[in-house]
A = this chain, B = another copy of it.
Amino acid sequence: MPATDTVRIQLPDDRDYEIRIGSGLLGEARSWQGLPKAAAAVIVSNDKVAPLYAERLRERLLAVYARVDLVVLPDGEQHKDWASLNRICDHLLGQALDRKTVLFALGGGVIGDMTGFAAAIYMRGVPFVQVPTTLLAQVDSSVGGKTAINHPLGKNMLGAFYQPERVIADLDTLDSLPDRELRAGLAEVIKYGPIADAAFLDWIEGNLDALLARDKAALAHAVRRSCEIKADVVGQDEREQGLRAILNFGHTIGHAIEAGLGYGQWLHGEAVACGMVLAADLSQRMGLMPAGFTQRLRSLIERAGLPVQPPRLGAERYLSLMRVDKKAEAGGIRFVLIETLGRAGLHAVPDERIVETLAAHGAV
């Protein structure tokens, strides 16, 4: 049996769960034992991932559940909407599946978010298990309990905080991941260095080639450490009242890039990567970080094959896009800035500084 890393997520009210990280977990009986008992399980996946892994998962789950259904949704962020969510609910109700039914989210962040939200609201809550098949989902959606769908007027605007029973992160599923998506996932891995762990940033710099080559040991460490850091942050702030905001390093500008170009032009991780470069620059301009920091982060992101040059949307457009970001509350645009390597915080930044940064990176 291959080695399995386990990260235990501590939550109040008996909601603790494990993230298991390793090769071959999908096919291991042990991965699916000890989950809540039920008459039926439902695998929710998309039309890209289901053909690769759904049958293997279904076979394993049939050892535990008398009945295992499969709901296949269209792939893509543009389908992260009420219509797709309702397809899950239609299936559950159409088959008269009861409130003990366990949902399995097999896919990337979109599937995880939608399945988790369906689990949160179906009969006011049924258990669910995350089986993330992208690097982004393994390091990001595995921890934190955020579930959501998009609304025509905004991303992730309707959702719930709802925790899974378990996360099975099978590193083998990353073999089928397109290169561009692997790199986008690395953006979120890189993020955990500057905000929380300077030594992890060093480690990523030293192991980037192995990560890009999909070396399993390197990936296992990256996923585990990312989950540990996120768990540590979220554990102190489950409902996103304060500290948890630091996980949005790079996201304020990243969201503006995604919205400004139209969602789907850049991958989320690509937008965040570029957003981190600009947020690093803001950290320097606000006097928090010494010269050289932006260049260091920029080099790493560039080596990872991620964009460092923001699209030229113009200063006004960037400012207006960032003002509607949900983190923009009364008192100006607040950014997650790096205060020292391994520590971040929320800072209100004057518009002039933002415009300087945008100009310095060719965004205006």
Contacts and interface: CB of A to CB of B under 8 A. Distances in A.
Interface of A: 12-13, 39, 82, 86, 89-90, 93-94, 96, 98-100, 120-125, 146, 148, 151, 153-154, 157-161, 239-240, 324, 326, 329-330
Contacts of A159: 121, 123-124
Contacts of A90: 151, 153
Given A93-B153, A124-B148, 19 more contacts: A39-B330, A82-B82, A82-B86, A89-B151, A89-B157, A89-B158, A90-B151, A93-B151, A94-B153, A98-B326, A120-B160, A121-B158, A121-B160, A122-B157, A123-B159, A124-B159, A124-B161, A124-B240, A125-B239
28 contacts: A12-B13, A39-B330, A82-B82, A82-B86, A89-B157, A89-B158, A90-B151, A93-B151, A93-B153, A93-B154, A93-B157, A94-B153, A98-B329, A99-B326, A100-B329, A121-B121, A121-B158, A122-B157, A123-B326, A124-B146, A124-B148, A124-B159, A124-B160, A124-B161, A124-B240, A125-B160, A125-B239, A160-B160
Nearest to A100: B329
B86 A125 contact: no
Chain copies in complex: 2
A322 to B, nearest CB: 13
Contacts of A161: 124-125
Nearest to A120: B160
A215 to B, nearest CB: 36
A157 B93 CA distance: 8
Nearest to A94: B153
Contacts of A13: 12
A85 to B, nearest CB: 9
Contacts of A124: 146, 148, 159-161, 240
A142 to B, nearest CB: 17
Of the listed residues A99, A100, A148, A158, the one surrounded by the most CB atoms of chain B closer than 10 A to its CB is A158
B39 A324 contact: no
B96 A324 contact: yes
Contacts of A330: 39
A247 to B, nearest CB: 14
A110 B20 CA distance: 42
A123 to B, nearest CB: 6
A181 to B, nearest CB: 25
Contacts of A146: 124
A53 to B, nearest CB: 28
B82 A123 contact: no
A154 B124 CA distance: 13
Contacts of A160: 120-121, 124-125, 160
Contacts of A121: 121, 158-160
Contacts of A99: 326
Nearest to A13: B12
A124 to B, nearest CB: 5
A36 to B, nearest CB: 12
Contacts of A125: 160-161, 239
A145 to B, nearest CB: 9
